[in-house]
Amino acid sequence: MNTAAATIESRDIASVLHPYTHLRRHESQGPLVITRGKGVFVYDDKGNEYLEGLAGLWCVSLGFSEQRLADAGVRQLSTLPYYHQFAGKSHAVGIELAEKLLGMLPVKMSKVFFNNSGSEANDTAIKMVWYYRNALGQHRKKKIISRIRGYHGVTVATASLTGLPDNHRDFDLPIANVRHADCPHHYRFGKPGETEEQFATRLAESLEAQILREDPETVAAFIAEPVQGAGGVIVPPRTYFEKIQPILKKYDVLLIADEVICGFGRTGSMFGTETFGLQPDIMTMAKALSSGYVPISATVINDKLYQAFLNQSDKIGQFAHGYTYSNHPVPSAVALETLKIYEERDIMKHIRSIVPTFQSLLRSFADHPYVGEVRGVGLIGAIEFVSDKATRAAFDRKLGIGATIAAAAQKSGLLVRALGDTIAFCPPLIISEAEVKELFARFAKAVEIATPEIEKIAAAAK
């Protein structure tokens, strides 16, 4: 291709394979090319402004122009641009990051293992669970229970944990030893007249029955996001984690808290683990760990696991797991600076001051004739569109209602994500009250634009 004559859009179509994209449609529609960002806004190659309503992909917590993070990366590149942690090697910034992170956690943990993405963090957690069970001689205890509509990544193992059909279809997934429990979405799966607490009790009983069916001697761990993110921003029903955790302990099932989206303030506490009273054995995190500026993630374990790892290392001769870029000094420096900013600027105080406005304006869409449910906690939320408000009947997925609304939002200067017919909101944590109001004003305009098209699609589908 003559790149000098081609547009940037045509060059993208010719060369880039896009994740989570309708590939045939992309060939005709082309990309939205983002060229720069400032605060909670990003700008395309035509100069159009967009309020980033999903913080990129749930990650750009400090906005798109935090100079301190850029400076931290440059300083590290100028001093130690790379080193590894294999065979006992280390570096100061990686040590400090691990110490800082352990000091922030709401539960006592022992060691931090660094990866490069949320998928890798959860993949590492799976391997650690199996390694731990082998260390204890529990060679049959290998099954990991995830949940329907949970999202834990896209590697072979973590995509298997992810409870979304498209992540399995024609990828030959899930792999063996992965099971899926009920989705904790009261609006969709609660029985008529069933309260959230009653629904939570039923799910806990169902989980126990599932463990018994599988045989407790074969069930190793249970993994859960405090709030299911990419599955539709599903906030657990009241008392859900309170009721399932004793069951996990009863059958010696480890709890993995996937904090990849919820971690670092998103739910109104520093971690979703704190918001919902979890006591995990393993915590995974990524995204806001570096405000999305550079790839880095962490898998954090308690001392029970670490002591077993020590014994296995004696037996085998080493802990034979790791990545070339585990605790890479540049991402580590950026992540450390991110955590310092959270602390110095009291990010939690700011979040809590903004949450009432965010949640109030989010819920102001509940009366729209095609809105079935509005849900959220902290600075994360979702609006689910349905074909029939009274019966909660969903639109046929093929109609693309969610995509229609997201496209209208983009035309209105707002970037959000359609998860089926649910629109997700997860703005940068630094968003101001005025910017929250602007976010929902732009979304109201998008809904106004999209509603006639929704009515037309709905009528044609009947």
Averaged pLDDT, 397-401? 92
* Helix H or strand E encompassing 306: helix 303-316
Averaged pLDDT, 293-318? 97
Residue 19 resides in a domain: no
Buried b (16+ CB within 10 A) or exposed e, 70-90: eebbeebeeeeeeebbeeeee
Residue 287 has pLDDT above 90, yes or no: yes
Domain hosting 50: range is 32-65+347-461
Averaged pLDDT, 29-47? 97
Q: pLDDT digit string (tens) for 109-148? A: 999 999 999 999 999 999 999 999 999 999 999 999 999 9
Order the strands of the 380-385 sheet from edge to edge.
Answer: 371-377, 380-385, 422-425, 417-419
Residue 261 resides in a domain: yes
Together in a domain, 296 and 412? no
Together in a domain, 335 and 369? no
- Vertex 260: Cα angle to 409 and 414 (nearest 5): 10
**Residue whose token pair is 């093929």:** 398
Together in a domain, 340 and 351? no
Together in a domain, 75 and 189? yes
Residue 75 resides in a domain: yes
Q: How many domains in the chain? A: 2
- Specify burial of residue 67 (Cβ count, 10 A radius: 0-12, 13-18, 19+): exposed
Of 292, 318, 344, which marks where a domain is finished? 344
Together in a domain, 325 and 373? no
Residue 3 resides in a domain: no
Residue 22 resides in a domain: no
Q: Do 117 and 287 contact (CB within 8 A), yes or no?
A: no
Together in a domain, 240 and 186? yes
Q: Cis bond leading into 356, ω under 30°?
A: no
Of 300, 322, 344, which marks where a domain is finished? 344
Q: What are phi and psi of 262, to 5 degrees?
A: -80, -20
CATH code, domain with 457: 3.90.1150.10
Supply 121's token pair. Answer: 């963090």
Together in a domain, 327 and 247? yes
* Helix H or strand E encompassing 156: helix 156-161
pTM as predicted: 0.96
